[in-house]
């Protein structure tokens, strides 16, 4: 069973760069797309971006210019960097693994994030 463990600095100053890493264990690294999500205090979930085992990335356009997601397949880890931080970036940051599956009988897909790490609280304050 796939498990995720994440770590990184929790208190940062404005204009600094957030850096988080997520380690994948217990399953196939190529079976998921590896995703970062954040949740500001009292608010909903926001997708930041994802990477697959080949290093292909997709990012949320609203954050795209500040986001770098990378992967280290030798360590089965993936990482997030978010630059030029402001107070609006204060949130709990989660890493998760997602799968897109085709349902031919219905001519549809589903996408499920079925493994999550515990989250890291990141506070941006001077």
CB of 60 to another protein, least distance (A): 7
Among 20, 34, 35, 78, binds another protein (CB under 8 A): 35
Among 9, 11, 84, 112, binds another protein (CB under 8 A): 112
1-4 CB contacts, 8 Å cutoff, 24+ apart: 1/26, 1/27, 2/26, 2/27, 2/28, 2/31, 2/32, 2/97, 2/115, 3/115, 4/95, 4/96, 4/97, 4/115, 4/116, 4/117
Under rule CB under 8 A, residue 111 binds another protein: yes
The pairing of strands 77-82 and 33-39 is unpaired
> Which of 16-24, 45-53, 73-81, 82-90 is the region at the interface with another protein (rule: CB under 8 A)?
45-53
Q: Which residues bind another protein (CB under 8 A)?
A: 35, 44-47, 50, 58, 60-61, 94, 98, 100-101, 103, 106, 108-114, 116-119
């Amino acid at each position: 069973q796939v498990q995720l463990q994440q770590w990184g600095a929790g208190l940062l100053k404005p204009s600094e760069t957030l850096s988080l890493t997520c380690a994948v264990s217990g399953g196939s690294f190529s079976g998921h797309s590896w995703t970062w999500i954040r949740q500001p205090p009292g608010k909903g979930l926001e997708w930041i971006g994802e990477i697959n085992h080949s290093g292909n990335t997709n990012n949320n356009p609203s954050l795209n210019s500040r986001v770098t997601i990378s992967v280290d397949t030798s360590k089965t880890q993936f990482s997030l960097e978010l630059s030029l931080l402001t107070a609006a970036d204060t949130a709990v940051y989660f890493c998760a693994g997602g799968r897109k599956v085709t349902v031919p009988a219905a001519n549809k897909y589903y996408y499920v994030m079925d493994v999550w790490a515990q989250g890291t609280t990141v506070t941006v304050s001077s």
